[in-house]
Amino acid sequence: MRRLIPLALVLLVGFGIIACAMTLDEALALFSGSDIMVQYNDEGRAQLEGAIAAFLATLGVPEDLDQLDELAVNDFYVDPANKDLLNKLSQAYYTLADAFLSGEEEEESTYVKGKNWGMKSLRMDPTFAEIEGSPTKDIGRFIDAVKQETDIAALYWTGANWLRVAEFNKVKAVFAKIPDQTEVMYLRCLELDDTYMNYGSYRALGAFWGGLPRLGILVHYSKNFNKSLGYFCKVVNEPEICAECNDCPDFGPVDPAADEYFENRLFFVQYYLMEKGMWEDAKRILDEVLAEPVGEKYPLYNAISQEKAAEFLEEVEEHL
């Protein structure tokens, strides 16, 4: 159960708790490498909301700017020196929605905000903007722009938010060509630094191919377990299962550190094993995740992964 925090630690605005009062330096201090170091409790949520407020204030974003309007966000001026703040804002929106807003009314809109600020960051690269041309007009040009982009944080968090938005209507997303655009983002991240976010691009691509709807062999972006397994086998140490992968790329040995980030194994269970009905393997891995300590290295996402693992285990055990 999440621990409630004293009201003295938060700002009260209107009828509800909004965020911890936080300076920009305090907001930046929450970031360690590519991760955000908050706890999985009400205080962690308030800190994330406080960080978002600090970033928006530093960027000078007016209250009446519609953050759900991609073109309005794109047209808003940001000092080039603050480009990295856009990436952190995109990540903070993703983390807030993913960790704390599941099932809440503002969950989808929070991902949309994160995606729009990520897009803004990408388009602040003059080369990206020149290749893409007019925003949202030509998907092919957007993909070409992504293929030369070097800002891995902008690519990763834009893609992460966009895929979460797509999950609210997967079939619509496929025909809107969101998979075309997000897949190339993660493939580019692999080229730039495949270790980013604890091998996050492998994890994302494994979930991507395992989580697509079944639309038939005539549709390229349809559920593909072989592709899903090929990516997951970079981040899970499951040689027997991975031996079943046909024509998979040779990603090399699994880094033992991949197990330290529980979401690698959780996504493997959620988007591959459970989707395929491999219930015994799913239970074995979920039991392993639940038996290990959360630790101090990844306090937020390891705690989230254990909570989800317990929920998935109930479903898995119904099939055994």
Closest listed residue to residue 262, CA positions, set 231, 238, 280, 285: 285
Confidence check: pLDDT of 5 > 70 = no
pLDDT per residue as tens digits for the range 174-200: 888 999 999 999 999 999 999 999 999
Residue 187 in any domain: the answer is no
Distance CA 30, CA 44 (A): 10
Distance CA 288, CA 191 (A): 31
Residue 180 in any domain: the answer is no
Q: How far is CA 161 from the centre of its chain?
A: 6
Residue 247 in any domain: the answer is yes
pLDDT band at 6 (very low <50, low <70, confident <90, very high): very low
Q: Quick one: pLDDT at residue 229?
A: 96
Distance CA 94, CA 82 (A): 19
Residue 205 in any domain: the answer is yes
pLDDT per residue as tens digits for the range 250-281: 777 899 999 999 999 999 999 999 999 999 99
Please report the DSSP string for 117-164 in residue order.
HHHHHHHTSHHHHHHH-STTT-HHHHHHHHHH---HHHHHHHHHHHHH
Total number of domains in the chain: 1
Backbone angles phi, psi at 224, to 5 degrees: -140, 100
pLDDT band at 134 (very low <50, low <70, confident <90, very high): confident
Share of the chain above pLDDT 90, in %: 82
Q: Quick one: pLDDT at residue 19?
A: 53
**Mean pLDDT (the chain, rounded):** 91
Confidence check: pLDDT of 148 > 80 = yes
pLDDT per residue as tens digits for the range 48-82: 999 999 999 999 999 999 999 999 999 999 999 99
What single-letter DSSP state applies at residue 229? Answer: H
Residue 133 in any domain: the answer is no
What is the average per-residue pLDDT within 118-136? 93
Unique residue bearing structure tokens 């880094």: 255
Confidence check: pLDDT of 4 > 60 = no
Q: Quick one: pLDDT at residue 248?
A: 83
**Is the pTM higher than 0.75?**
yes
Residue 75 in any domain: the answer is no
Residue 296 in any domain: the answer is yes
Ranking 128-132, 190-194, 218-222, 301-305 by mean pLDDT, the lowest is: 218-222
Residue 107 in any domain: the answer is no
pLDDT band at 217 (very low <50, low <70, confident <90, very high): low
Segments forming the whole domain that contains residue 204: 194-320
Q: Quick one: pLDDT at residue 140?
A: 93
